[in-house]
Amino acid sequence: MNEFYNRLNELKIPFMVKRGKYKRLSMTYDRKGNLVIKVPYQANVQTVEKFVLDNLDWVKKQYEKAKVVKRLYIDNENYLFLGKTYLTKYFESRHEEVILNNQELIVYAKDESPASRKKVIDKWLYKQAELVFNEMLSAAFNRMRDYLPKYPTLKIKHYSSRWGCCYPKRAEIVINIDTIHLPFDLINYVIYHELCHFVYLNHGSLFHQFLSKWVPDEKKLHREFKKYHTNYE
């Protein structure tokens, strides 16, 4: 695999090769901007190398989308919230708060330091995520209650490479805080996806049939996630 290793290194694209019980070769970017090459156990070196080199244009194009955005916490930065982009405006104030209007995310922080501004936004963002995720979880559970043993506990945390996960044995779902940057329909998809795992643990055909019962356009929405590789720091 020396040739594709060399090519990716020349392009300065961080990558990792993961062998596992995959049905086919595939590539994706995790939310830190790393290229993840998923290789079935039975695939030989030549097959993997050809697959990567044949798809090098896609790798380069997607890498530009997947780069981590280093936020500077200055005026007029783009800020994505619930699928809409806002421009940031910062003001110094004893009273810390965030105000959202049609075009701007207005932040009042105690001082002009990036750390202070980040703290205010992060606190506000977590509160917004709690409100939105809990409301959508409640609506989804009410539709699915006949299939679910009990109302799940919702936790919010940061993941580097997934939007959410679930723990059926303890009736708990965890949603990535960065999910709050997505449009409502994709947040809804994440919540239904995790709830469906209480019935089907894997991603087999029965799982997808069950998911499509609640989210009829689940295949289309699944493809939409490719637009949102960007990770905010």
| CATH number of 178's domain | 3.30.2010.10
CA distance 120 to 218: 35
Nearest to 83 by CA among 230, 233, 212, 191: 230
Asked if residue 186 and residue 158 are part of one domain, the reply reads yes
The answer to whether residues 152 and 121 belong to one domain is: yes
What is the per-residue pLDDT across 147-179, written as a single tens digit (0 to 9) for each?
998 999 999 998 877 899 999 999 999 999 999
The pLDDT of residue 159 is 80
pLDDT at residue 229 greater than cutoff 60: no
Q: Number of folded domains in the chain? A: 2
- In-domain check, residue 73: no
The domain in which residue 159 lies consists of: 78-227
* pTM of the predicted structure, to 2 decimals: 0.74
Q: Are residues 20 and 84 in the same domain?
A: no
Q: Are residues 87 and 198 in the same domain?
A: yes
Let me know if residue 72 belongs to a domain.
no
Do 140 and 29 belong to one domain? Answer: no
- The model's pLDDT over 78-102, given as tens digits with 9 standing for 90+, comes to 999 999 999 999 999 999 999 999 8
Residue that finishes a domain, picked among 39, 66, 93: 66
Distance between terminal CA atoms of the chain? 33
Domain match, 45 and 86 both:
no
pLDDT of residue 150: 93
> In the predicted model, what is the mean pLDDT of residues 217-221?
92
User: Is the confidence at residue 233, as pLDDT, over 60?
Assistant: no
Kindly state whether residue 157 falls inside one of the protein's structural domains: yes
> So what's the pLDDT on residue 10?
83
Q: Is residue 11 located within the same domain as residue 122?
A: no
On whether both 48 and 93 belong to a single domain, the answer is: no
**pLDDT, position 230:** 43
Q: Are residues 145 and 196 in the same domain?
A: yes
Q: Are residues 7 and 85 in the same domain?
A: no
| Residue 71 maps to a domain | no
Instruction: Measure Cα distances from 98 to 62, 127, 135, 166, 180 in Å.
Output: 33, 11, 21, 31, 15
Report if residue 121 sits inside a domain. Answer: yes
Q: Are both 203 and 110 inside the same structural domain?
A: yes
Name the residue type at position 229.
Answer: H
